[in-house]
Amino acid sequence: MTVEEKKNRLTDIMAAFIGYTAVHLPDDIVSKLEDLRDAEDDPAARSIYDMMFENMRLASQLGRPSCQDTGLVQFKIECGSRFPLIHQLKDILHDAVIKATAETPLRPNAVEPFDEINTGNNTGTGAPALFWDIVPDDESCSIYTYLAGGGCSLPGHAMVLMPGDGYEGVARFVMDRITSYCLNACPPLLVGVGIAGSIETAALLSKHALLRPAGSHNPNKKAAEMEKLLEDSINAVGIGPQGLGGSSSVLGVNIEYSARHTATIGVAVSFGCWTHRRGHITFDSDLGFITDTHAGFTYGL
Amino acid sequence: MTETINGRTTLTTPFTEEDIRALRTGDVIYISGDIVTGRDDVHIRAVSEGMDLPAEIRGKALMHAGPIVTGSAEDGYSLVAIGPTTSMRMEKLEYDFIKKTGVRLIIGKGGMGKRTAEACREFGAVHCVLPAGNAVFTALCTEEITDAGWLDLGMAEAFWSIRVRELGPLIVSIDSSGKNLFEEKKKEYASRKEEQLQKISKRLETIL
Ligand code: SF4
């Protein structure tokens, strides 16, 4: 393949993959939703879960987006420094978003600030958002896709606490959002918490945390215990599906952190709704790929 | 008109004041007839800018929603996916919107606030929650797009007129007595949150 042919192929695969993730929820989220449905005692909440599963079935059968808000498209990229299309990747992902918007179809959500014009194709200044990480001396490329819906982006929040506020302060910061804004964010939610030295680092980590599977744990044992503690506590609040009450509230709590300043605890929280449209696909240098989020995804077979 | 179809309470447009005032928070209903979509920009135009809506909605339903639509005015539109958006965003303008338009039933997700509850009480309206994120399920409760207004606002913000059949389940969250299900739930959740935070602080001592 020439570079041009490779570029077209990667654009086509990514457009198809983005479209696929809009229609089919990731495998880990489906199985977590099954667990929550099976454990639900409240009959009204259970009937909402039944509706959700019927919707997932219809979306797959008809090939339509499971939620009408297909969000703003975001990518976290772990790109090998020797991946053959590293220089073209930005353009490729931009074109893939335009193609996925037309072909799936996705709802055009990108609005240019100040001009207040919807661009009509989900791209615009800085959109799609790309969060880059270059992996030295590697020739593969791993791409996380995320469709960030408006409803679940709304409760996102970041602030810098003082060390005296401690981890109790972190817990309160998260729980305050849960019992207020999050009722509207289509629970059960995946909760992503970022802890760092300042707001922008914490905020980015909170989004990275959402890209981890539901049910995964932070490798640091204490952080993992805090995840569990928050998960149990938020579930005990009993928000239930759609915030109308039920036995559980969340799909999980994922914490990511980086070293903080000795004088600050930057904390941020991002939320993923039950329609958590996250994808993960890894390409080798010949553009062969594997995905660990959507076993059903195929391309060109 | 209110009737029971397949064991479900189903209201058909135009809703009478009596139909609506008979509903109580927590009731689960379905609706048939004419609805329109309207979210942030429709409210701004109708209330802040004083513009007339592209179609009359007295006695009908408003859904806070931005659908995915394909097709065109010439070839006809088809509705791919639709579901409610966060109603609270419209709280600031909803009182005046209900007063001005005479809309009787509002569909959205999450709750709304005091002013909307006041309007529901004064003018005989209700707010209902449609479980969100179920956009294909909900699209299949629609029959056709009958009109498209304010398309210059973009697909999500436009004013779509849609005929629906047994759209639901709709859970009444604010009734015409002004009772507000989510405000009650919020109090419940907030008090459980405080209990949990106390437990957390004890547990943290052992973890850290
Ligand atoms: S919060 Fe998620 S599921 Fe709910 S409407 Fe928005 S994108 Fe859809």
Q: What are the 10-residue block averages of pLDDT along chain A, 301 residues in total? A: 96 98 98 97 95 98 97 98 98 98 97 95 98 98 98 97 96 96 95 98 98 97 97 97 95 98 98 98 98 95 59
Same domain, A260 and A158: yes
Rounded-to-integer distance, Cα A92 and Cα A105, Å: 18
Q: What is the pLDDT of residue A248?
A: 94
pLDDT per residue over A128-137, tens digit each? Answer: 999 999 999 9
Tell me the C-alpha distance between A61 and A86, whole Å.
36
Residue A46 maps to a domain: no
Residues of chain B predicted below pLDDT 50 = none
Together in a domain, A14 and A102? yes
Range of the domain at B78: 2-207
Q: Do A68 and B169 touch (CB under 8 A)?
A: no
Task: Please tell me the distance between residue A100's alpha carbon and the centre of ligand 1 in angstroms.
Answer: 19
The residue segments making up the domain with residue A108 are 3-24+66-149+277-291
Amino acid (one-letter) located at B142: T
A119: domain CATH number?
3.30.360
Q: Where are the alpha helices (DSSP H) in A74-146?
A: 89-103
Total domain count, chain A: 2
Q: A51 to chain B: which residues are within 8 Å by CB?
A: 131, 134, 137, 169
Residue A186 lies in a domain: yes
Asked if B139's CB is within 8 angstroms of A244's CB, the reply is: no
* Residue A138 sits in the same domain as residue A207: no
Separation CA B32–CA B15 (nearest Å): 10
For this complex, say whether ipTM is above 0.85: yes
Do both A144 and A158 map to the same domain? no
Nearest one of A193, A176, A213 to A258, comparing CA atoms: A193
On whether both A233 and A268 belong to a single domain, the answer is yes
Q: Looking at the structure, tell me whether residues A15 and A145 fall in a common domain.
A: yes
In a domain, A93, yes or no: yes
Of A185, A57, A290, nearest to B140 by C-alpha is A57
CA angle A147, A220, A217 (to 5 degrees): 40
* Contacts A–B by Cβ distance under 8 A: 169
Site to probe by mutation for ligand 1, drawn from B64, B88, B109 as the one with most ligand atoms within 8 Å of Cβ, is B109
Does A233 fall in a domain?
A: yes
| Helix (H) or strand (E) segment spanning residue A160 | strand A157-161
Same domain, A218 and A169: yes
Cα end-to-end distance, chain B, whole Å = 62
pLDDT at B207: 83
CATH of residue B134's domain is 3.20.130.10
Active-site positions of B read 43
Same domain, A164 and A256: yes
In whole angstroms, give the CA distance from residue A155 to residue A174.
10
DSSP state of B87: G
By three-state DSSP, how is residue A224 classified? helix
Residue with tokens 């993923």: A272
How distant is the alpha carbon of residue A45 from its chain centre?
Answer: 24
pLDDT of residue A214: 97
A224 and A263 assigned to the same domain = yes
Instruction: For residue B104, give both structure tokens.
Output: 């009787």
A216-A217-A223 Cα angle (round to 5): 155
Structural domain contains residue A32? no
Based on the fold, state whether residues A252 and A265 are members of the same structural domain: yes
A49 within a domain of the structure (yes/no): no
Q: Cα-flanking dihedrals φ and ψ of residue A161, to 5°?
A: -95, 165
Tokens of B197: 């935070």
* A181 in any annotated domain: yes
- This prediction's pTM: 0.95
What was the pLDDT predicted at A301? 59
pLDDT at B149: 97
Residues of A in contact with B181 (CB under 8 A): 244
- From chain A, pick out residues whose CB is under 8 angstroms from the CB of B171: 44, 244
Q: Which of A25, A66, A275, A277 gets mutated to test ligand 1 (max ligand atoms within 8 A of its CB)?
A: A275
